[in-house]
Structure formats: structure tokens, C-alpha cells
Structure 1
Amino acid sequence: MRVVSSKDEMRRACRESSRPLSLVPTMGALHDGHLSLVDRARSDSSTVAVSIFVNPTQFGEGEDFTEYPRDLDADLELLQRHGTDLVFVPDVAEVYPPGFDTWVDVGPIADRLEGAARPGHFRGVATVVAKLFGIVQPDRAYFGQKDGQQTVVVRKLARDLDMGIEVVVLPTVRESDGLAMSSRNVRLNPEQRNAAAAVYRALAAGMNLWSSGEADASKVRDAVRQELEAEPLLEVVDYVSVASPDSLEELDRAGRGAMLSTAVHLGPIRLIDNVIME
């Protein structure tokens, strides 16, 4: 496994690698969700590249950039065990050198849901993903459904800019109680960790209502919100959404393929999760 910190060296390494080449972009603090992407990339590809970069431009003022979990040594050990070929670990100045001032705007889908709660977040996401795609030039890139809106943004980015990259989205990996795996989960204390299970339980309540035949999206949202509000440690519910999987516009009728999602605050962190209605 080759660990690279400079853009030029990463470009050379990727040009010299066997194809197909797959990229798994991450912010590190790797868990089984990330590793499921690496394993799938390994099965699909001759060369697997993973990036580890905590991207400051997708964090807003007052968010947890400095507290975001980091453990590079543990990450590299895991990636070695899972057959990774190249690991790109740039510092901030390498990605955003002095004078950098070019940004990617993917349009209205970036202003809904997470974009409304975190203005500018997806400008940062789209820009860093575009830079990683430009440096690595992968044939495929792998993302988890847990960050549902991000997958929509990245697919639009790759399509609209004719990047020729297949964006592969894999199912959310969950803990035994349904909590979506996230690097931030390690910041929850035991009581908060138990309460966090309410997020998936709430989404499941909405799914169960829909599966029983209820197509009124407002009633599905209400079922989710009621379950969330029953957990006293969930301090704020930013949104409960039933949205089009393509435009992320809110739906009046919940149909197959819609994305049911929510974001809540629990102690020091913000939890997001979603399920696809199918």
C-alpha cells in the first residue's frame, strides 16, 4: 500500500496504476461503513484508491471541524488489511493552496435539507469531490447511502460536468440497533448512544406506515417526528423529509423510490439518516 500526500505524486501514481481504478473518498476515522465501500471497490477494480481528508470547506461556522475524529494510524492499518493500493492524505494547503477561489455550485438541490440547515455545506462537498475526481481520475467512485443528499449531489456533479465517472452508492451500514454508522458516533456518551437508536426507529415508523398503504407524505413525516419527539435527549429536529430522489423536492404523495430522511441534534453531534421507500 502506497501512502501519498502531494497532488502531483497522486496523479502520477494513478496514471501508472492498472485499470479500472476506483476511488473511495473519506474524511477518515474509518468504520465498517467505509470498509464496505473499500471491499466493494476491491472486488470491482484492479486498483483501489482511498482519500482521507477532513475538508474544512464543508463545515460551517460553529461546526465540529476541530473536534472531528481523526486517527490516521488506525485508518491506514484498516486500509492495509482491506487491500487498498493507494491512500491520498493531503493537508489543507495542498488541497486549497494560497489564492484558491474556484467553487462548484450544483444548483437548488444543494439548498434543500442539509443545505438549508448548513448553508454552503454542499459547495464545499462538491468542490472537494471535483478536485479529488480531477486528481485521481477514477473509473468509479463509491459512496454510502447514509449521506443520502450527498449521493444526489455527487451524481449530479459527475453527470453535469461530463466526468465519465460511475458513482456507485451502497446501502447504509448499521449497528445492531439500527443506528447508521458514522465517525461522529464515537463522541456520544453511553446514554446518548442509547438515545441515538431513536433516529432509525423513527424512520422505520414512517416506513411501516407507508408500507401499510399510507401515501400521504405529511402523515409519514408526522409519524417520524412523533417517534423522534418521544426521545427526550434529542434536542432539536432540523427536518423530517419525504423527497424526490432526484430533485430532493418535498412530495405530497410518498411513492416508491422517495427518500425519507431526518436530521437531529443529540448532545455534541448532529445525526442524519435516511431510508429509500421501496
Structure 2
Amino acid sequence: MEKVYTIKEVREQVKAWKKEGLSVGLVPTMGYLHEGHASLIQKAVEQNDKVVVSVFLNPTQFGPTEDLEAYPRDFEADCKLCESIGAALVFHPEPSEMYASDFCTWVDMDVLSKTLCGKSRPIHFRGVCTVVSKLFNIVTPDRAYFGQKDAQQLAIIRRMVRDLNMDIEIVGCPIVREEDGLAKSSRNTYLNEEERKAALILSKSVALGKKMVADGETSATVVKEAMIKKIESEPMAKIDYVEAVDGLSMQPVEEIKAPALVAMAVYIGKTRLIDNFIVEE
């Protein structure tokens, strides 16, 4: 497995692969990789001849009061994980490599980015769309892989690819959870022992909502109220949002039916965690 740090190196390697007729998969990450990322890399390895994993903590998707400086980092561990699964190349640029000092061009989106996480993180998805577009232009992959845990991000990337006519297949992969149900996240490392136990309220409320829908409940209000009541039973939890939206447009729905997304963001102490479930046919 090769480690590269410049755009020029990535482009030269990918061009060489494509001259050989090889397919290329991309897994964009911010590093501090866990089993959730591993599942994306594994899927990419299964479906492509060569896999590029980008490890780039993108500063443009963090607001001024968010956790950019505190975000966990372990590049050597990331590389070991990538190599063990079969990635061919890890791209680990500095911010100055990705953003010139006078950078002023952005990829932004209306509608889909205004709900859910977009409400409390107004610049977040502009940063996501911009960096993902740059990675797509740099790597020119055949397929790119994103997790369902960031369901709004996945929907936004799919819409961006459609709207901008990008010749890339976007592959969504299921949420990977700890044995006790907590969705895998790099931010889980922020939790102390007491907070870690309290954080299980997210997956418990997801399980409650899923069961209600499976049992035939279609009222978004009824399902949300039950999930909110469940979360509020945990004293350490503070709700950012619990919403039911259309899975394609990210707009609120009154009736939960496919394709719907029921998503939440909850603070446990100072740590903001997300979880969700998707209602399919």
C-alpha cells in the first residue's frame, strides 16, 4: 500500500491504473478510522480493482466553535487498518495542499442542506460538498463509498452527483454498531465511562422508532414524540433534533413511509452524536 501527500502523486497513480483498465473506488474519511470506515473500505475492495482512502480532516466543514482542534487523529493506525483490508493507496494531504491561501470557490446546495444537521451547522454541508467535489476531481473514481450513519450527507452527495452530472456511482453502506448498539463514531472517544453508558439512549430510541413503524405506526408526530420521551428519560442527554424527513429531499414529512429517514442529533455532555433509521419498501 502506498501513502501519498500531494494531488500530483494521486493523479499520476490513478492515471496509471486507468491505463491498465482498472476500476478505482474512493473512500473519503477524516481519519481516526474505526469498524464503520473498515466496512466502507471492505465494500470498495470487493467492488473495485484499486481503492483509494483519503484521510483528510477537512477544516471547511467545521464551524468556529466546533471540535476541529480536538478531533482525534492517528494516521499510523489508519494506515495499518487500510492496508489490512486491501486499500492500494492512502491520500493524506495538508490543508494547504487542498486549499490555496486565496481559495474562494465553493460547492453549495439549497434545500437538502437546510434541515437536520444543516440547521445547527449552517456551513457544514458547504464544506462537505466542496471537499468531496475536490476529491472526486482529484481521484476520478468509478465509485465512492459513504456510510448511512451520516444519512443527510449521503443524500446530499447523491444529489450533488446527480445535479452536477458527475460520472461516479455513490454506494451507501449500513451503520456499523458496537455490541451494545451504539453507532460507531470517531467522536465516541470523547465520552467518559458515564457518558458512554448514557449514549446508548440514541440506539434505544432508534430501536423504539423502528419497532413502532414496523408495527404499523405511520404518524411522524407519534413516532417522534415517543422517541423524544425516550431520549429525555436520560438525564445526560440534550436533544438537538429528532425529525422524520423524506429520504431523498430531506424535507419534513407527516406520514412515515418509504423512502423516509428518521434521524436525530443528541448531545451527551459536550459530545454531539447522531443516529438514524431508514424506512424502505
Question: Separation in 2 of the partners of 1:274 and 1:13?
Answer: 37
Deviations, residues 158-199 of structure 1 (Å, cap 9, x unaligned): 111111100000100001111110011011111111111110
- Residue 13 of structure 2 is matched in structure 1 by 13
Q: Which residue of 1 aligns with 2:99?
A: 96
Residues 54-90 of structure 1: CA deviation (Å, up to 9, x unaligned): 0011011210000000000111111111111011000
Q: Which runs of 5+ in 1 are unaligned?
A: none
Number of matched pairs: 277
Shift of 1:237: 0.5
Q: Which residue of 1 aligns with 2:186?
A: 183
1:83 to 71, 77, 86: 86
> Does structure 2 conserve the Cα–Cα contact (< 8 Å) formed by 1:55 and 1:128?
yes
Range that drifts further, 14-23 or 187-196: 14-23
Match of residue 261 from structure 2: 259
- Cα pair 2:10 2:138 within 8 Å, conserved: yes
* Superposition pairs of residues 217-232 of structure 1, within 5 angstroms: 217-232=220-235
Q: What letter matches 1:189 in structure 2?
A: N
Report SS of the residue matched to 1:23: strand
Whether 1:28 aligns to 2:31 is yes
Shift, 1:268, TM fit: 2.7
Distance in 2 (alpha carbons) for counterparts of 1:136 and 1:46:
14
Contact 2:178 2:184 in 1 (8 A): yes
1:125 & 1:157 partners in 2: Cα distance?
A: 11
Quick check: 1:206–1:224 contact (8 Å CA) kept in 2?
yes
Q: Aligned AA for 2:133?
A: A
The alignment status of 1:131 with 2:134, answered yes or no, reads yes
Per mean C-alpha deviation after superposition, the further-off stretch among 130-139 and 3-12 is 3-12
SS at match of 2:17: coil
Secondary structure of 1:275's aligned partner: strand
Contact 1:241-1:260 within 8 A present in 2 as well: yes
1:49 matched residue in structure 2: 52
Distance in structure 2 (CA, Å) of the matches to 1:139 and 1:201: 37
Q: Which residue of 1 aligns with 2:251?
A: 249
Aligned to 1:4: 4
Supply the AA of the counterpart residue of 1:213: G
Give the C-alpha shift of residue 256 in structure 1.
2.4
CA displacement at 1:223 relative to structure 2: 0.9
Q: Is the 8 A contact 1:106 1:156 kept in 2?
A: no
Whether contact under 8 Å (1:203, 1:274) holds in the other structure is yes
- Identity rate of aligned residues, in percent? 46
1:185-240 deviations in whole A, cap 9, x for unaligned? Answer: 01111111111111011111112112222111100110110110001111x21111
SS at match of 1:147: helix
Name the stretch that deviates more: 92-101 or 12-21: 12-21
Residue 154 (structure 1) shift: 0.5
Q: Contact 1:143/1:151 (CA < 8 Å) preserved in 2? A: yes
Equivalent position of 1:209 in the other structure: 212
Q: Summarize deviations over 1:17-76 as a string: whole Å, max 9, x none.
A: 252100000001000000011111111110000000000110112100000000001111
Q: CA deviation at 1:107?
A: 1.3
1:100-119 paired onto structure 2 within 5 Å: 100-119=103-122
Runs of 4+ with >3 A deviation: none
SS in 2 for 1:35: helix
Q: Distance in 2 between matches of 1:257 and 1:141?
A: 22
User: 2:177 matched to 1:171?
Assistant: no
Measure the CA separation in 2 of the matches of 1:212 and 1:206: 10
Choose from 55, 61, 65 the match for 1:62: 65
SS in 1 for 2:199: helix
**In 2, Cα distance between equivalents of 1:42 and 1:198:** 34
